């Protein structure tokens, strides 16, 4: 999707439409918007330019008349000419033909819109799965960064598995919840998503089937389909992923791997029970089915006790690859996560990672090691839990006030998410668009389960308290209007 990084000056003597014409013309002329590029829909363009649709239409019509743009019925508006193409006998490169043949598939359109809209000013982000800037530990981070110059002698590449001092600290940290892992069985990655990518491209043959919860975060990514992986969704109950379908898919569908988020599942918020964890490990050992345990939300428990020990702590056969990260609990910008597994597997993954990026950021690894060794990480977690608990309770109260007759939900005991189930199905795309037009950015359920037309993933972690209250009130009004029209 072409991006808009500019808005016209409403105080300028030059008419708004003329400013837009010049902006688009410049983008085309300098080659940033090449031939055959598709422009965003007019609604999106008007919002980005902060003008009304009629002003935008005048600008587009002039550019079409000049031959720079072309409007195709049912297909939108496209770049048709770059002015240079009429002066040469050789047509310019059609970059779209390359884009269509790339190895990786583009993101879902809704995900692309979410990724672009998250950085718009004054948007209320009711679905974002990260900590609010209000929860960023600025003083602690300043303290950490001030200590680094005396610790770092060089910022060269680290060894393939990552900075040894960080892996030692993670080894100590993992013991606090039952995982006994030496530094040699730990690898540093640039977040849990990179860990998943490395596992799939390094260990699984093309066409492999991955078992996972349905709904699941992975359904929102095209990354795995790009690697010719197949998903088989398994049903959930209040204790987590159900057992019987695992056996069926292993025996009849030749499943290769089970991926699960047992702690505060994304997007449903479900916490897998201790007994279910034990049963899954026993079953997967019997079926010789490897497990990826994505445990990035573990430390975000909000009620009186921590969650049950990880699947990895129950594993005695090296069956589980364990993923952890600082992205959810501290800062996504550090880009620090880790994989724990059998040493031969970690060696293989480290070799592939070196081929991809030659290692995660050295500076971030040194900073992460200091967070663990200083004890500040645990202090930070205690503060985050306290503040997240307040946000969760505010979200719960707002839902009780505005959604009690149009939706159902369960309040999670940790993590970021509330899985809202509407009493009446609605068009998820229409709801997403109408909410965005009114300044609300939501995560519709169909990006986590493409058949869902009754679910939303709400997050209480990012928006401010006042935004949570006002945003949920406005979202309720939008949904009610849609339901009335559907019934009407």
User: Tens place of pLDDT for every residue, the chain, 488 residues?
Assistant: 688 889 999 988 889 999 999 999 888 887 888 888 889 889 889 988 999 999 999 999 999 988 889 987 778 898 987 655 544 545 566 766 777 777 788 888 899 899 989 988 899 999 999 999 999 999 999 999 999 988 888 888 999 999 999 999 999 999 999 999 999 999 999 998 999 999 998 999 888 999 999 999 998 888 888 888 899 999 999 999 999 999 888 887 789 999 999 999 999 999 999 999 999 999 999 999 999 999 999 999 999 889 999 999 999 999 999 999 999 999 999 999 999 999 999 999 999 999 999 999 999 999 999 999 999 999 999 999 999 999 999 999 999 999 999 999 999 999 999 999 999 999 999 999 999 999 999 999 999 998 899 999 999 999 999 999 999 999 999 999 999 988 76
Q: Indicate the SS3 state at residue 98.
A: helix
Q: In the prediction, which pLDDT does 85 show?
A: 53
Distant-in-sequence, close-in-space partners of 9: CB < 8 Å, separation ≥ 6: 19
Q: Which CATH class is domain 16-102?
A: mainly alpha
Q: In the prediction, which pLDDT does 32 show?
A: 85
Q: Indicate the SS3 state at residue 353.
A: helix
Every domain of the chain and the residues it spans: 16-102, 124-129+379-487, 138-374
Class of residue 333 by CB neighbours under 10 A (exposed 0-12, middle 13-18, buried 19+): exposed
For 183, half-sphere exposure in the C-beta direction (CA atoms, 13 angstrom radius) is 13
Q: In the prediction, which pLDDT does 87 show?
A: 44
Q: In the prediction, which pLDDT does 223 show?
A: 82
Q: In the prediction, which pLDDT does 101 show?
A: 73
Q: In the prediction, which pLDDT does 104 show?
A: 81
Spatial contact of 104 and 226, defined as CB atoms under 8 Å apart: yes
Spatial contact of 275 and 310, defined as CB atoms under 8 Å apart: no
Cα(337)–Cα(195) distance, rounded to whole angstroms?
8
Report which DSSP code applies to 461. S
Q: Hey, which CATH number is domain 124-129+379-487, 3.20.20.140, 3.40.50.10330, 3.40.50.2300, 3.90.1150.10? A: 3.90.1150.10
Cα(167)–Cα(187) distance, rounded to whole angstroms?
7
pLDDT tens digits along 94-115: 766 777 777 788 888 899 899 9
Q: What is the pTM of this model?
A: 0.85
| CATH 3.30.70.260 at 138-374, yes or no | no
Q: In the prediction, which pLDDT does 21 show?
A: 92
Q: In the prediction, which pLDDT does 89 show?
A: 46
Q: In the prediction, which pLDDT does 4 show?
A: 84
Q: In the prediction, which pLDDT does 73 show?
A: 79
> Which stretches of 223-374 are DSSP H helices?
223-226, 244-252, 274-287, 311-314, 343-356, 362-374
Q: Indicate the SS3 state at residue 186.
A: strand
Residue 469's H or E segment, with its range, is helix 465-487
Spatial contact of 312 and 320, defined as CB atoms under 8 Å apart: yes
Spatial contact of 328 and 297, defined as CB atoms under 8 Å apart: yes
């Amino acid at each position: 999707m072409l991006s808009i990084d500019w808005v016209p000056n409403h105080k300028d003597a030059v008419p708004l439409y003329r400013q837009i014409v010049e902006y688009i013309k410049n983008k085309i002329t300098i080659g940033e918007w090449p031939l055959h590029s598709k422009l965003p829909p007019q609604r999106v363009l008007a919002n980005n330019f902060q003008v009304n649709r009629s002003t935008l239409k005048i600008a587009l019509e002039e550019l079409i008349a000049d031959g720079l743009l072309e409007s195709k019925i049912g297909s939108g508006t496209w770049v048709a000419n770059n002015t240079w193409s009429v002066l040469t006998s050789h047509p310019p490169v059609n970059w779209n033909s390359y884009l269509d043949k790339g190895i990786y598939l583009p993101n879902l359109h809704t995900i692309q819109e979410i990724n672009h809209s998250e950085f718009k000013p004054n948007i209320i982000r009711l679905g974002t799965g990260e900590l609010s800037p209000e929860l960023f530990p600025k003083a602690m981070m300043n303290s950490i960064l001030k200590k680094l110059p005396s610790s770092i002698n060089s910022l060269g590449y680290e060894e393939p598995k990552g900075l040894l001092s960080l892996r030692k600290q993670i080894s100590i940290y993992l013991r606090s919840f039952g995982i006994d892992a030496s530094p040699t069985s730990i690898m540093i990655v640039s977040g849990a998503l990179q860990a998943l990518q490395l596992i799939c491209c390094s260990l699984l043959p093309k066409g492999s089937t991955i078992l996972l919860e349905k709904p699941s975060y992975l359904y929102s990514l095209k990354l795995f389909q790009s690697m010719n992986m197949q998903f088989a969704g398994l049903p959930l109950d209040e204790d987590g992923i159900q057992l019987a379908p695992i056996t069926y898919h292993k025996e009849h569908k030749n499943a290769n791997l089970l991926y699960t988020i047992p702690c505060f599942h994304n997007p449903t918020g479900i916490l897998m029970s201790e007994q279910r964890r034990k049963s899954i490990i026993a079953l997967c050992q019997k079926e010789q089915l490897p497990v990826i345990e994505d445990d990035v939300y573990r430390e975000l428990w909000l009620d009186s006790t921590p969650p049950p020990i990880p699947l990895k702590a129950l594993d005695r056969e090296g069956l589980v690859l364990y993923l952890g990260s600082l992205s959810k609990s501290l800062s996504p910008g550090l880009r620090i996560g880790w994989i724990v597994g059998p040493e031969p597997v970690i060696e293989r993954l480290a070799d592939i990672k070196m081929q991809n990026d030659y290692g995660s950021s050295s500076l971030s690894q040194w900073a992460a090691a200091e967070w663990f060794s200083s004890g500040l990480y645990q202090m930070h977690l205690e503060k985050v839990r306290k503040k997240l608990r307040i946000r969760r309770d505010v979200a719960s109260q707002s839902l009780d006030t505005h959604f009690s007759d149009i939706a159902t939900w369960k309040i999670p005991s940790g993590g970021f998410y509330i899985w809202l189930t509407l009493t009446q199905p609605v068009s998820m795309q229409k709801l997403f668009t109408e909410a965005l037009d009114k300044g609300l950015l939501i995560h519709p359920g169909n990006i986590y389960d493409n058949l869902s037309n009754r679910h939303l993933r709400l997050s209480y972690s990012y928006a401010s308290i006042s935004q949570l209250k006002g945003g949920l009130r406005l979202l309720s009004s939008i949904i009610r209007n849609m339901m009335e029209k559907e019934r009407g």
